[in-house]
Chain A
Amino acid sequence: MSTAQAVRMTNDAASSGGDNFQVSANTEQYLTFILNGEEYGVDILRVQEIKGWDSATPIPNTPDYVRGVINLRGTIVPIIDLRARFGLERVPYGPTTVVIVLKVMHGNASRIMGIVVDAVSEVYNVSQQDLKPAPEFGGAVRVDFVKGLATVDQKMVIILAIDELLNSEAMSAANAE
């Protein structure tokens, strides 16, 4: 993917373009991105757009993985740094750093949130059968944030459960208030 150029991929385009991929009934498409050398995937139908990193307005008294909010054509969208969220080492944002804007379901409501990742990678078709449950692994990423593990070209792709990930803890705690 070329450098700071923002790739906008609306959901419409993604779903209408789906014909070209010959998606079978229980195959889902995942957009993958790179984080600390690992490849993660999110359901492509949840991806609203991908844009280059721009500054965000910090929000006081929020966990440090909340980078702040940006203006996405009139909507205030919070931005989560996924490296910080996973407790990875912080690196300076570079030319490939992008924000993936996702639609997160929370009960019946949906929210728009952005995640900062090192770079976007590919779009893969993964069938349900190929999605292996994640084993219990101690570590930064909680198992319930992982929808499953897929193998594509001998590589492991970690498919994230974004609803759980982005609604957890601090994010949803506010709703209980």
Chain B
Amino acid sequence: MTIDMSKFLDTFFEESAEGLDAMESGLLNMQEGAADDELINTIFRAAHSIKGGSATFGLSEVAEFTHHMETLLDEMRAGKRAASRDVVDVLLESVDCLRAMLAASKNGDVNDPARAKTLGERMGRMLGAPVAGVVHADATHAAADAAGHGWSVVFRPHAHLYRTGNDPVRMLRELAELGDYKVACDTARLPRFADVQPEECVLAWTVELRGDIPEKNVREVFDWVEGDCDLSIEAIRGDTANGARGAPCEQTPAREQKAAEPDIKLKTPDAKVPTQDPRAASETTSIRVGIDKVDALINMVGELVITQSMLGQVGKDFDMSRVEKLMHGLAQLERNTRELQESVMRIRMMPISFAFQRFPRMVRDLSQKLTKKIDLRMSGEQTELDKTVMEKIGDPLVHLVRNSVDHGIEMPDARRAAGKSETGIVTLNAFHQGGNIVIEIKDDGAGLPRDKIIAKARKQGLLGADEEPGDDKVFELIFMAGFSTADQVTDVSGRGVGMDVVRKNIKALGGTVEVKSENGRGSTFTIRLPLTLAILDGQLVSVGEQTYIVPLVSIVETLQMKKEAISAIAGRAELYRLRDEYIPVLRLYNLFCIEPRQTELVGGLLVVVEGDGKRVGLFVDDLQNQQQVVIKSLESNFKRVPGVSGATILGDGTVALILDVGGVIDASRQATSPKGFGKKPAQVRAA
């Protein structure tokens, strides 16, 4: 019977990754010296399942390596070993190593055995036992390092072995494949012929295997019958076959899933070689969805079906008396669709802790390397955001956190001198605001070196010699591309390495990043991201013949302009007074070079939008309805267009562009400069 193990393999890799994450966070939580039982158990369980799984899939290196970890953890669990910093360090490194090993197996790469070996030896030294063979939990086999000569195996199945679906003959054959093989059958338990029960196993075997066979290969044969037999595997020393002393070894049932998956028990020998399924290489990502989310979906689909049948009935013998019912049905349909859409979107939402969880480790390692004292505080880990957004925000976040640790927080003595606590604090915070998720990375370090940035900018000609820029402008400079390519602020103390990349990545997600900094008090980077990339609530506005979509989240208000509130500067830059604020008026048709229907501001419609913390009023011809639009990328077939974040298809099948409010505001600020955006003369379009 051949079972395609490869499909389980993918699941195994996925589960292992989760297990490793759990181990890592557990280890990080482990305070020096104080080992919380629950914590150790969690780590132990994770290690144990990885070991079990990897043995099942023939990833023997992984299994062996995990076994060392498990032994170490077991001692900690039993209270024989304190959770010292050394132990935790070794275990953390082992987690990394395991991750690398698993990744290598997954991708079919050859992994580097040296690393595992060194770590294994370190663990071995800690355990005070040799590690060449498998250091078994009950330590009776610890000294069994004579793999060079062979093994004597006493296999004494329990009577019910057949009933578990195992066949000793098959196991013996497998053993025979391992090397030079001699078997003796022990028939002592054989009953008289009349009493023979065909379903009971009464035989026992002593197998002598010669050759250079690793113990794990021998043990592997008996993987599935642990607990169903008395098994003793002894090394044969020298030439003397001292044979079976038959000390039955207490086998821990290694895999809890063993009982749950009886159908995989009959594994074929070819499943033992690490199977490299080509499919495993192609990245199949999956998400775990809470059952409640799925239930909610099913509920909604149910309602949708009801609405549909209701509408069907209304439509059957339709006359005008049923119009009201029809409208009611349509309203319900709209509501159902919207709810369904939201639920489907929610499936893609994951708590941001997935992106945050790597940081405790990173900060710990970095602070050790830099000999700084840093306390990482995280809050809002349960804030949910779209999986795609999360995957893409990881790297920029790493960069910013690294920056905070590396450049933001000062050395302990510098901090003391500045009258601050020696331990620097880096805070990661996430929360929802409007339709956005906001992530803050805050440190209480020295802040951005304002003077140095200015000096550098002057040198690069980004700032005029006597220009005194405001803070906003200075900190904006660190995101400039040319500002980040080495030999600059960075070697002194400033940030700037790859900040342009950070900003670019965040912008590509439709988000923004800004920085606030106070000298000596630290700096805060604030990232704002849309919750999802797929759908947005939009206000349709028309300008001339065209329809544009303004994201609803960026609209502050819309109003009809009054004559007395309109004023101008130098006859050009128009402002509108909205309560206590002057808001620049942006004629959208000018910016987009289209023929407007209306050019008179008085009585016209002004859509006040906010982006990047700035407000402008968009002058449009008309407001249409509000609706949800599916965002389609312009870039996939064309290119990024400034001021436009994407396109969508309206109900009538035509394409409408979605305004990128931040981009439009940027454009409006440049519009007064000679080589600004939208200076091209209006195009003449053929009829």
Taking a contact as CB atoms under 8 Å apart, the answer to whether B637 and A61 are in contact is no
Known: A76-B647, A92-B687. A59 touches B637 (CB 8 A): no
Q: Which A residue's beta carbon lies closest to that of B633?
A: A76
A58: CB under 8 A from chain B?
yes
A174: CB under 8 A from chain B?
yes
**Given B594, B637, B642, which contacts A111 in the complex, CB threshold below 8 Å?**
B637
Taking a contact as CB atoms under 8 Å apart, the answer to whether B656 and A60 are in contact is no
Taking a contact as CB atoms under 8 Å apart, the answer to whether B655 and A76 are in contact is yes
**Chain A, interface residues (CB within 8 Å), range:** 20 to 34
Q: How far is the CA of A58 from the CA of B644 in the complex (A)?
A: 12
Known: A74-B649, A75-B632, A76-B647. A57 touches B641 (CB 8 A): no
Q: How far is the CB of B484 from chain A (nearest CB, A)?
A: 16
Segment with Cβ contacts to A, from B192-200, B324-332, B675-683? B675-683
B591: CB under 8 A from chain A?
yes
Q: Which A residue's beta carbon lies closest to that of B636?
A: A111
A59-106 contacts to B, CB under 8 A, are 59-62, 64, 68-71, 74-78, 90-93
Contacts of B683 in A (CB 8 A): 58, 64
A112: CB under 8 A from chain B?
yes
Taking a contact as CB atoms under 8 Å apart, the answer to whether B639 and A175 are in contact is yes
Taking a contact as CB atoms under 8 Å apart, the answer to whether A57 and B657 are in contact is yes
Known: A69-B638, A76-B632. A58 touches B654 (CB 8 A): no
Taking a contact as CB atoms under 8 Å apart, the answer to whether A58 and B594 are in contact is yes
Taking a contact as CB atoms under 8 Å apart, the answer to whether B656 and A57 are in contact is yes
Taking a contact as CB atoms under 8 Å apart, the answer to whether A76 and B634 are in contact is yes
Taking a contact as CB atoms under 8 Å apart, the answer to whether B655 and A174 are in contact is no
B398: CB under 8 A from chain A?
no
Interface-central residue, B594, B647, B686, by most chain A CB under 10 Å: B686
Contact flags B130-158 to A (C-beta < 8 A → 1, else 0): 00000000000000000000000000000
B653: CB under 8 A from chain A?
yes
**Given B636, B647, B654, B686, which contacts A93 in the complex, CB threshold below 8 Å?**
B686
Q: How far is the CA of A92 from the CA of B643 in the complex (A)?
A: 30
Q: How far is the CA of A90 from the CA of B683 in the complex (A)?
A: 12
Taking a contact as CB atoms under 8 Å apart, the answer to whether B655 and A69 are in contact is yes
Q: How far is the CA of A90 from the CA of B687 in the complex (A)?
A: 11
Contacts of B632 in A (CB 8 A): 74-76
A146: CB under 8 A from chain B?
no
Contacts of B5 in A (CB 8 A): none
Taking a contact as CB atoms under 8 Å apart, the answer to whether B655 and A75 are in contact is no
Contacts of B678 in A (CB 8 A): 60-61
B640: CB under 8 A from chain A?
yes
B171: CB under 8 A from chain A?
no
Q: How far is the CA of A177 from the CA of B640 in the complex (A)?
A: 9
Contacts of A172 in B (CB 8 A): 639
Contacts of A78 in B (CB 8 A): 634, 637-638
B665-680 contacts to A, CB under 8 A, are 677-678, 680
Taking a contact as CB atoms under 8 Å apart, the answer to whether B634 and A69 are in contact is yes
Contacts of A76 in B (CB 8 A): 632-634, 636-638, 647, 649, 655
Contacts of B593 in A (CB 8 A): 60-61
Contact flags A7-39 to B (C-beta < 8 A → 1, else 0): 000000000000000000000000000000000
Q: How far is the CB of B589 from chain A (nearest CB, A)?
A: 10
Taking a contact as CB atoms under 8 Å apart, the answer to whether B685 and A174 are in contact is no
Interface-central residue, A61, A171, A177, by most chain B CB under 10 Å: A61
Taking a contact as CB atoms under 8 Å apart, the answer to whether B686 and A92 are in contact is yes
B546: CB under 8 A from chain A?
yes
Contacts of A59 in B (CB 8 A): 634, 638, 641, 644, 657
Contacts of A75 in B (CB 8 A): 632, 636-637
A44: CB under 8 A from chain B?
no
B264-295 contacts to A, CB under 8 A, are none
Known: A57-B647, A69-B647, A71-B653. A174 touches B640 (CB 8 A): yes
Q: Which B residue's beta carbon lies closest to that of A62?
A: B641
Q: Which A residue's beta carbon lies closest to that of B650?
A: A71
Contacts of A171 in B (CB 8 A): 638-639
Contacts of B591 in A (CB 8 A): 60
A108-150 contacts to B, CB under 8 A, are 111-113
Q: How far is the CB of A99 from chain B (nearest CB, A)?
A: 14
Contacts of B647 in A (CB 8 A): 57, 69, 76
Q: How far is the CB of A23 from chain B (nearest CB, A)?
A: 29
Q: Which A residue's beta carbon lies closest to that of B589?
A: A60
Contacts of A91 in B (CB 8 A): 686
Contacts of B636 in A (CB 8 A): 75-76, 111
Q: How far is the CB of A5 from chain B (nearest CB, A)?
A: 19
Q: Which B residue's beta carbon lies closest to that of A176?
A: B639
Contacts of B431 in A (CB 8 A): none
B592: CB under 8 A from chain A?
yes
Q: How far is the CB of A167 from chain B (nearest CB, A)?
A: 10
Q: How far is the CB of A29 from chain B (nearest CB, A)?
A: 24
Q: How far is the CB of A131 from chain B (nearest CB, A)?
A: 28
Q: How far is the CA of A136 from the CA of B653 in the complex (A)?
A: 44
A55: CB under 8 A from chain B?
yes
Could you list 17 further interchain pairs (A-B, Cβ under 8 angstroms) beyond the known A61-B592, A76-B637, A170-B639?
A57-B546, A57-B647, A57-B655, A58-B685, A59-B644, A59-B657, A60-B643, A61-B641, A61-B677, A71-B653, A75-B636, A75-B637, A76-B633, A76-B647, A92-B687, A111-B638, A174-B641
18 contacts between A and B (CB under 8 A): A57-B654, A60-B641, A61-B641, A61-B642, A61-B643, A64-B683, A68-B655, A69-B647, A71-B649, A71-B655, A75-B637, A78-B634, A90-B686, A92-B686, A111-B636, A111-B638, A112-B637, A174-B635
| The 5 residue pairs across chains A and B that have the minimum distance between CB atoms | A174-B639, A60-B592, A78-B638, A57-B655, A111-B637
